[in-house]
Structure formats: C-alpha cells, structure tokens
Structure 1
Amino acid sequence: MRQNWRSLVAATVGLFLAGTRAQTEPVQDLGSLLANQSSLSTFYGLIQKYPQILLQLPSYQGVTILAPNNNAFDKIPYSSLSDAFKNNNEDVITNVLQYHILQGTRIAAQLVPGSPVFIPTLLTSTEYTNVTGGQVVENVKQAGNVVVFVSGQGSRSTLVKSDLSFTGGVVQIIDSLLIPPSNLTDTLNAFNITSFEGALYATDDVYSFSNTPNVTIFASADSGFEALGPAITSMTSEELAQVMNYTILPQVVYSPGLTNGTKFVARNGENVSVLHSGNNVYINSAQLLTSDILIANGVLHVIDNVLNPQGPYAQPNPQIGSQAPVFASASNVDELPFTASIPCTVSCPVSTTSTPTPSTTSSVVTPTSLVAAATSSSTRVSTSSSKGQAAALAKETGFGAAGLMVALGGAVLMI
C-alpha cells in the first residue's frame, strides 16, 4: 500500500510538471523552469525528494514559489541538532518548503515601494503556525528596486531574480532561506527583550501569550522596564498581570494597520491608541521602535516604554526624543527587572531536588512544565537579576531559527 501511494504521488507530480506542453505555445512548466535554472539545482532536488508538496498546488488559484538559490543553502549553519535532521525529519523539512510557497501569484514588478504586504503561505500546520489563513511572509519593495522578504526572527531574504512564469504561477529566486516564525519566547530571546519575557513568567502568562491564536503584542524594550524600577517590581502578581494584559490585542495588526488615530481594545478591555508625528509612530505615549516581528501566533511590535493600563490616554511629546514613563514613582535601575523569573536551561546550578525541564520536542508550550517552576506562591513578583545572567534564558519548546535551517540543510545532504 505504501509503495502504491508513492507511485500515485510520483505520477501525479509528473502530470503537474508536464503542464501544457501539448499546447501550441506552451507556457513553461514548473519542472522545466527549475531544471533550466542552474542556480536552483539544490532547491529542485528538494522538490523532487518531497513531491507531496506539489500536490497542494492545484487547490490554489495560482502560487508564488520563493526558491532559495544554491548560495542560500551554502549559508545554512550546523548545530548540535544536525544529526537529528540528517535522519530525515520529513515533518520539519516539508513545513519549511510549504513556507516558501505563497498563496496567489505575486508579481514583483507590481510592488509599490515602501508599502509592506503580508502574504499567506501554504504553511498552515498547527504545529508551526497559529494564525488564521496560513503563516505569512512580509514582502516590501525598498529604494533602488530592492525587494525583500522578511520571515521569522527578522530574517531577511533578497530577491535576486524575479517573475519567472510557469503554468501554475511564478517563481521568485531569493538569496537566503525563509525561517518560519518561531514561538514567542524564542523570538523575545532573539531580540534580547528579556524583562518583558520575565514578566510573562512572573505572572504565569507565558502559555496564554504564546498559544492564543491571532494576537498582536506590544513588548517594551528592556530600557522601558529599567526606567520604571520599583514602580513595577513592587507590584503584586495581579497588578503586573493587568499591565501585561494591556500589551496584547486579540487580533493581528501589522504596521500598515497602525494608522493615525486608530484605537484598539486590549485584552484587559482598555483602549490602546495610535498616534503619528512625522516619521514616528506612538502606541499611547510609547514610541514604536521595531515593527512587524512575525511570531507563530501573530505579530510582535517593540516599543520604548511600558504601557500603563491606568493611563490609557497618555500622549507623547513628539518634540523630545525619549518619552517619560507613565507610572508614578518610576525610578531608573541598573539591573533588568524580572529576569530572575525566567527558568534556567543553560549552565544551570545543580539542584538536590528534581526539577522539570521544558520539552524540546514539541512546538507547543505546556503551561505546567514551563510556568510552574518560574513563579512562587508569594503575592509579590520576583524581580531582577544581573544583565550577565540574562544571557542564559529559557526557551519555549519548538524549533528555533537555526534548527529550521539545519533541517533543510540536513535534507540536502541526503539528496
């Protein structure tokens, strides 16, 4: 039965690649297109190795294939996970390939400079994405006709050859692999947003923030927490939870949706307002520093201050470069608040008691294993540790960016 299934797959793919050669003026089929592009030989080998990916294509009204060139595969790093991926983890590899296929025909020549678009892909597995309609890739045309695709953890791939038509859509050749967006804590770690992560552990909110589908999160940079000091570290767990619930929206809002004067209702029921002044964008009075960081269950925006649910009408002063905190009794501190709440996973002290550790095989966080060890029964939250300790951070379960790249690299070694 298994052999018959493989034969059926091969036959179906053969028909798909054959395309419309019988037509008087046939459009090039996908197989011929890939075979004729010498820079895509590695990618073409992957498609041949996992033909089941192409079985999904006829269900869409045209597709865009972002095909990494051979140089892109030369950039793939190896890690301690390389042996596992060399054992042919088909689930990881096929999901990475699905993330390189966009729904709909996207012509680079039609892009408007400076206007990012967020395009759904064929990556819809709940193991890797928790957004409606398929995980997205950001596409933007920059000055000088440079076209960039932004994927997980801010990874950037540049278009090097565009708009190669085939019978089912177009192929766009890119210079780096796309990385499927990872879970929230992996992403916070990658961008060194440690106090916000620690506050999530301190309030038992890691599971909720990481697993609720279709969310937008406004995460303050570490400097925003440092500027508050005891104004936030002296809060009870319940008070801190109110602050954290004011940073999350129950909908996905990418930067084009952050229009001037727009108001959104946060999880705690209070409004969050957007204000534009010149080239700056503010969320209440906090300036937007980095936008559109893709995560598995939505999008993350980094702001310079911590939002205060007790001050939803706070307004910025655009005439000054740095906005003042909106919490009473704010006092700057040198140590990063809440990082002590992040459970240790690297170079941890030896304990005489058994402590559960986060799983590294599932892409979904379990609330008990990750959160229970991170907090105590005290009504006051754990506060800070040194910046040096912040380097050894907990990671939520799931594959990180390097792991996904190694997954694809491992597959190449077996072609």
Structure 2
Amino acid sequence: MQNLSKYLLVFAFLFAIVACNDDEDMRPEPEAANLVDAANQAGLTTLLAAVQAVPGLAPALLEANAITVFAPTNDAFAAALTAFGASDLNQLVDALGGPENLETVLGFHVVPAVALAADLGATNNFTTLSGQSLTVNRQGNTVTVVDAAGNTANVVTADVRISNGVVHVIDRVLLPEIDLPQTPAPNLVEAATAAGLTTLLAAVTEVDGLADALLAAPAITVFAPTNDAFGNALEAFNATSLAQLVARIGGIENLETVLGFHVVGATAFAADLQPTNTFTTLAGQTLTVTRDGSNVTVTDAAGNTRNVVTADVEIENGVVHVIDGVLLPEIDLPNVVEAATAAELTTLLAAVTAADLGGTLLDAEAITVFAPTNAAFGDLLETLNLNSLEALIETLGAEAVTKVLGFHVVPAVAFSFDLAEGVNTVPTLAGEDLTVTRTGNNVTVTDAEGNIYNVVAADVAIENGVVHVIDGVLLPELD
C-alpha cells in the first residue's frame, strides 16, 4: 500500500509538469516589430531618413500585406553619397534626379512578398515595388542581390522578422534603371581651371576677346599645353615670364596666332581620329594629329611632336586634349625696315637710305637698334641750327652720318629684360661703346657726349633682333 502511494505521488508530479508545459506552448509569441521599429533597432538611420523624404512611403510599407525589404546600412548609403559626389542625403536626392527617382530607388529595395533566406532558390527574380526586376542569389548561407546596373550587394544580416514580412540588411544601395540628371559639361575656362592650366589661361587672357570668342564658338577642339609645357617654351625662348615670351615672339598679335594654332574649329574626340589627321586651326595654319591606338600626338609647323597626356576632357562646346608642349605655328616678324615703317620713323629710314645702311642691317645675323623718333631728329636739327636731314648730312659729311647711325646699332640681341640692372656697356657698329642703363622697367641710353635719352617704346621684335625706340639721336665721338 505504501508503494502504491509513492507511485501515485510521482504520477501527480509528472502530470503537473506536463500541464505547465502545455500552458507555456499555448501562450502567444511576442509580436514582431514593424519595419520602422526594426530599422531603428538595427541603426539604419539613413534608410529611415530616405524613406521619410518620400511622402506617404513609410505608411504604405507599414500597411502592406507582405514585404521583403533589402535594407542598406548607413555605410552603404555613405558609399552611395561618395559615388554620386554628394555630402548629404539632400544632395544625393538631387544627384538621383529628385524625390520621384528616390522613390523608385527605395521601391527597388522592396519585394511585395515574404522571402526568408531559407525559402530562396539558387537564383531568384523578384518584381519590386518600383516595377523593376531584382535578382537574388543564394549559395549555402550566402545571399547576394544584383541591381539593374550589375552591382552586387551582400546580405550581411538575414531574416530580421517584421510584423508584415522580413528584412535582409545589405551592404550596398541598389540602383534601378533611372534617368539620372545630366551634369552640364564645364566651359573651356572652367575645364582649364580644374586641370590647373593656369599659364594657358593667363595667355588667353592677354589677348582681348579671345576667351569670349572661344566660349562662344559653336564647336572647338583645344590642344591645351600644361604649365610645364609653357615652362619649357619659356626656357627655349630664354624668357622668364609670359610677358617676356610674348615680347620675344613679336607681341600680342603673334601670341594670338600661337594660341589659335592650338584650336580647331570642330569637335574631335580621340576615338574620332584617323591614324593621320590634318586640321586647319583658328590661326589659319595646318596642324597634324596622329593616333596610334590610344596614343595621340600633335606635330606643329616647326616639326615638333607633342603628346596628348590627357585626352577627351569634354567641354560644353567641344573637347580639350591636354598636351606636353607648346605648338609653334609659322610666325611672321617684321624686318628692321618694316618695323621702322610701322612706327613711322621716317627720318631714320631716310637717313639709313642715304647712308646705304639698309642692306647691312637687314643682312646682320643679330642686332639691337636704338631707333630715334622723328621728333628726336628734329631736336638735333634745331640744336645744330639746321632745317633738314640733307643739311645735316651735308654739315656732318656722309662718313660721319654713317658713324652716327652705326652708333645706334648693337651687333647682338638685347631685349630690355636681357639687360643687367644698372649700367651696361655695349659695343656698336660705329666701333664705339654705348652706355645703356636699366632701372627696373626703365631704360636709358647715354652717348659719347654724355647726353641721356629714354627708351620710349621697348622690345619691338624683328626677324633678326629687336628695336627700342628712343627720344634722342645718339652722337659718337666725331672728328
């Protein structure tokens, strides 16, 4: 009897345990969080901000019967900001093309059905809320998602249950097919500025109206030298600044010719080029462009070949190819007679003709001419109480006049910036030395009698040297 009581007691205890377990099984499971709560718990703050930026999207997702959400992390959105050149969500929305395109992007992350990772096949194609198809692949425990652009995102946290479906956290923002806003191409000045072509921009600015003309042209291709290319050109021309280079090549008009030689009045991307191409430039001269595979070279009028180091920089009215050298066209420099004629130094020309020195000056290898103005000759005639050049020649004699004129010519090229600061003593064709003094940008010339005259127009380049116009006639020692 005692044993039977023990068995009944044990049975009662076991029954109580089973009854308790049955009560626990009958309790309702905790209700899953909704999408917003789940995203908050997962720290997906950028996704939530993006959803809130589309009016009505959050309620629509919360009220949907069944959804699967591929939810990008904050880091995934940060990577998208970088890819689109945006610094915040507002800029990203602008880069995408506005709120409508943002809605398409977000809808592309949502499938209107529940798809747990275990339910997936090896390859799955889902139609998203955006109406576009999304490809989801599963290999073992690894799930990836491929967007319309072919980019692959990894599911980093799968099967986060929500009240109306499931969330899979992914490491990339998925991109559907959308029409992105077209970023306008920069104009030539903006492109050159961005590329650091400061010397080219300075050169273009030196020519009045050139920048505006290039900006307004319907179509151009610009072969744009780098700063180093201009540095090499300065060295080749023995110049230390753009201003000195301009002087040595003959002034602003020739600078315009040089710059125009770098511009073709049509658009030619590298892929448009044939193996050999001949283009007429804005300078009116021909430029040869050669393409060998991806290598493009340009040959100038002097036969120098330059390399395109950066091709196909698109601008709003054409294209820029950055090159490693300055292209040289054929540049016309006047001879000394033409320069004197252009400067209206008629008395000097008459004196040179009378002394039969024209040929000597034209044939000289290198000369610097200090050229007196007509007023300077007038002052000399007045000082000598003479009334004409003929009277001067008759008074001084032909030999003396030849010596006077030769005293104005140095048998070497000396632009004003070539002169040393202070006093310079230079030989002349008269066989006597001339004193030339430079003080900053001012140059004076002192003759044998101690008369000091000013250079009133410096650095007129000629084909065999340079002319400086002065305000007095220089006198050597005369017998």
Query: Shorter-chain-normalised TM-score: which range?
Result: 0.3 to 0.5
State the TM-score, normalizing by the size of structure 2.
0.31
Larger strand fraction of residues = 2
State the TM-score, normalizing by the size of structure 1.
0.36
Rg comparison, structure with higher value? 2
